[in-house]
């Protein structure tokens, strides 16, 4: 069987995989990181979003062999070693932007990329458009949009206005 070598959440892995193995399967079944969810098997829901070389990608659309040599970040790799949450995770918590939590890992991973790629700010419309590939059946998106908007200044080192604190 072919072997794939990759770095996941800062840790190097070398794993034998079948040629048809999807990245989401590699992460969940071979490496044991189950925060990345399989929600639809059709790449429609976004529950499987991870960062591949700092870009959000639906891991159910990528063969494991395609990420040989890549750096992958999953939801498990966001918090600091001391347990401090990533600003996006903290804002999701603070703004009650999750209900059942199934879609949350993929939503957070996509939201981080959305914020990183928009250094000049995000409107509510841009956030909602950026989330079109992530489905959530519980929250109605209102608090998710608020959480992402609140995380933007934190991730870009901007001072949060006193009224927003």
Quote the pLDDT of residue 42: 85
Q: Is the pLDDT of residue 165 over 60?
A: no
Write down the mean pLDDT value for the chain.
93
- pLDDT of 67 reads 98
pLDDT of residue 41: 76
Write out pLDDT tens, residues 27-83.
999 999 999 999 887 889 999 999 999 999 999 999 999 999 999 999 999 999 999
pLDDT at 123 over 70: yes
Predicted confidence (pLDDT) at residue 101 exceeds the cutoff of 60:
yes
Residues with Cβ < 8 Å from 95, sequence gap 6 or more? 143, 144, 146, 147, 150
What percent of the chain stands above pLDDT 90? 85
Q: Which residue has the tokens 């190097």?
A: 12
> What percentage of the chain exceeds 70 in pLDDT?
96
User: Residue 161's pLDDT band (boundaries 50, 70, 90)?
Assistant: low
Please, are residues 162 and 149 in contact by the beta-carbon 8 Å criterion? no
pLDDT above 60: residue 164: no
Fill in the DSSP letter of residue 4: E
Contact between 78 and 108 under an 8 Å Cβ cutoff? The reply is yes
Backbone angles phi, psi at 125, to 5 degrees: -65, -40
Q: Tell me what pLDDT residue 160 has.
A: 66
Predicted local distance difference test score (pLDDT) of residue 162: 55
**3 state DSSP class of 65:** helix
Residue 105: both structure tokens together: 């890992």
Mean pLDDT of all residues in 85-112: 94
Q: Output 137 or 7, whichever has higher pLDDT.
A: 7
Domains assigned to the chain: 3-77 (3.10.20.30), 87-160 (1.10.150.120)
How confident is the model over 150-157, as a mean pLDDT? 95
- Around Cβ 109, how many Cβ atoms within 10 Å? 28
């Amino acid at each position: 069987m072919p072997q794939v070598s990759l770095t996941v959440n800062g840790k190097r892995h070398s794993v034998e995989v079948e040629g048809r193995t999807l990245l989401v399967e590699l992460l969940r079944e071979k490496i044991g990181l189950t925060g990345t969810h399989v929600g639809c098997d059709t790449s429609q829901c976004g529950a499987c979003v991870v960062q591949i070389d700092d870009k959000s990608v639906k891991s159910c659309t990528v063969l494991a062999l395609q990420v040989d040599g890549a750096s992958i970040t999953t939801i498990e790799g966001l918090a600091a070693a001391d347990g401090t949450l990533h600003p996006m995770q903290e804002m999701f918590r603070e703004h009650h932007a999750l209900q059942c939590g199934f879609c949350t890992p993929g939503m957070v991973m996509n939201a981080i990329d959305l914020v990183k790629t928009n250094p000049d700010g995000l409107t509510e419309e841009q956030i909602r458009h950026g989330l079109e590939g992530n489905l959530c059946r519980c929250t109605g998106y209102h608090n998710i949009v608020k959480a992402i908007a609140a995380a933007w200044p934190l991730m870009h080192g901007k001072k949060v206005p006193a009224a927003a604190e």
